[in-house]
């Protein structure tokens, strides 16, 4: 997620790379930082339920653990949240760093990126799915 922040009249380009638990990786004007994150919201409110346009089955949580074999690479949720967008389909070729899904957690959108070049074998989530940290989102061969 990218932001433009102005502090005392000076503008900063801030990109949130990832948030896991109470720490985040961010870039400020191109320089990487590891920062601590505090929230005044209780943990139970971190992944609000969303109505999905699909059947009720889409509301089920995705699997909690990602187990992939045969040289495929697992793409997993970096933290618990709700899948608000799926941008790729099985069989599609992807490049490392390409956005394949968007996860909303703690009122922030987190891009789920392909960890390597390859072809998507499967997408394990749908828009509106609640996922736990480490849940399988996709596999890339």
Whether residue 68 lies inside any domain: the answer is yes
Which of the four pLDDT bands, split at 50, 70 and 90, describes residue 54?
Answer: very low
Q: Domain check: are 100 and 128 in the same one? A: yes
CATH number (domain holding residue 136): 2.40.50.100
Residue 61 lies in a domain: yes
Residue 20 inside a domain? The answer is yes
* Residue 43 covered by a domain: no
Asked whether the predicted pLDDT for residue 37 surpasses 50, the reply is yes
Interval 109-127 mean pLDDT: 93
CB-side neighbour CA atoms (13 Å) of 5: 12
Are 75 and 12 in a shared domain?
Answer: no
pLDDT beyond 90 at 47: no
41-55, 103-117, 122-136: least confidently modelled range: 41-55
Q: Which residue has the tokens 């070049």?
A: 117
Considering the domain boundaries, does residue 46 fall inside one?
no
Asked if residue 49 belongs to a domain, the reply is: no
CB within 8 A of 41, min separation 6: which ones? 106
Q: Is the pLDDT of residue 118 over 80?
A: yes
pLDDT at 70: 62
pLDDT digits (tens, 9 = 90+) for 64-112: 334 445 678 889 999 999 999 999 999 999 999 999 999 998 889 999 9
> 97 lies in which domain range?
56-140
Asked whether residue 99 falls in the same domain as residue 131, the answer is yes
**pLDDT value of position 101:** 95
Is 106 found in the same domain as 64? yes
Question: How many Å apart are CA 114 and CA 95, to the nearest integer?
Answer: 7
Query: What residues have CB less than 8 Å from 85, skipping those under 6 apart?
Result: 101, 102, 127
Q: Say how many domains are in the chain.
A: 2
Q: Both 67 and 32 in a single domain? A: no
Residue 69 sits in the same domain as residue 6: no
Give dist(CA 49, CA 14) in Å, integer.
28
Residue 109 lies in a domain: yes
Residue 69 forms part of a structural domain = yes
Instruction: Give yes or no for residue 48 having a pLDDT over 60.
Output: no
């Amino acid at each position: 997620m990218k932001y433009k922040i102005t502090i005392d009249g000076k503008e900063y380009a801030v990109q949130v790379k990832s948030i896991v638990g109470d720490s985040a990786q961010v870039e400020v004007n191109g320089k990487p930082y590891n920062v601590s994150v505090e929230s005044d919201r209780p943990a139970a409110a971190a992944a609000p339920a969303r109505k999905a346009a699909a059947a009720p089955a889409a509301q089920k949580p995705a699997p909690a653990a990602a187990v992939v074999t045969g040289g495929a690479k697992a793409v997993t949720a970096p933290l618990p949240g709700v899948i608000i967008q799926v941008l790729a389909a099985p069989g599609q070729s992807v490049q490392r760093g390409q956005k394949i899904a968007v996860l909303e957690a703690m009122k922030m959108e987190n891009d789920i990126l392909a960890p390597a070049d390859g072809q998507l074998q499967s997408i394990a989530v749908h828009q509106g799915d609640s996922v736990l940290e480490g849940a399988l989102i996709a596999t890339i061969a």
